[in-house]
Amino acid sequence: AKVARMSSSAELNTGQIHRPLAIYMDFHPNIPAGRWEDIMRNKLIGSRTRNVLTFCLSLVTAALTFWCTCVGQIDTDKLDADKLFQMARGKAYAGEREEARRRCRIIIARSPSYLDAKILLARTYAWDGQMIEARSTLSAVLREKSTYKDAIDALIDVELWDKDFGRALEIANEGLLLYPRDEDLLLKKARALIDLERDEEALLVLLRLEQMIPSRLEFVRLRESVSRRSVLNGLGVGVL
């Protein structure tokens, strides 16, 4: 009877202890009965303490997460776009052009002013022979920013690949009005002139490039090739 009364009082009406005190006493007969209420009360206090600590830890974690989100929110979109662009470019150069285009479209949807994604998209179109899409995409970029050299470079490449050498030369000349000493634009102008068989003009451009950057053997080899062709054609303008 005494054990039953203690069991009833030791449960403490908390709902925390689900087994009667008598079960514990059966397993530990050497512990005096008077100590059981203290033992069970300490268990309850320990459980409550753990619950409080767990709750506090959850609050701290939530607060830190919220703070980090707020601090990083300004740059998140840009960082995400930059990372996605690097991945898209890697896919494009690995030959996975459809996947590259998919990622470029995601970037553009998130950041419509991300021009490099549009240029990469246009280049992948051109690599797959979709010249109309490539021209349209690059023309849209140049309408947004007419002086963007990367877009000018890409559009010249598209025209060269599509064998519209006259249009490539025209775009190169327009670009050189903005960037008169740009070696990429000068080289593409020379290539367009060579493809148009305007060797004299091409040689003048290549000689200028050699003077600007004597260490670029590419210019020397290309000039020598054009010079040999000129001699064979009887123009007599080659500089061998």
- Label each residue of the chain as H, E or C: CHHHHHHHHHCCCCCCCCCCHHHHHHHCCCCCHHHHHHHHHHHHHHHHHHHHHHHHHHHHHHHHHHHHHHHHHHHHHHHHHHHHHHHHHHHHHCCCHHHHHHHHHHHHHHCCCCHHHHHHHHHHHHHCCCHHHHHHHHHHHHHHCCCCHHHHHHHHHHHHHCCCHHHHHHHHHHHHHHCCCCHHHHHHHHHHHHHCCCHHHHHHHHHHHHHHCCCCHHHHHHHHHHHHHHHHCCCCCCCC
Query: Which carries the bigger pLDDT value, residue 229 or residue 67?
Result: 229
Give the count of alpha carbons within 13 A of 39, CB side only: 13
Output the pLDDT for position 38: 62
pTM for the full predicted model? 0.64
Of all residues in the chain, the percent with pLDDT exceeding 70 is 62
Angstrom distance (rounded) from CA 186 to CA 73: 43
Output the pLDDT for position 229: 77
Query: Which carries the bigger pLDDT value, residue 87 or residue 66?
Result: 87
pLDDT, tens digit, 9 for 90 and up, residues 114-130 = 999 999 999 999 999 99
Query: Which carries the bigger pLDDT value, residue 227 or residue 56?
Result: 227
Residue 97, token pair as written in the block: 């052009």
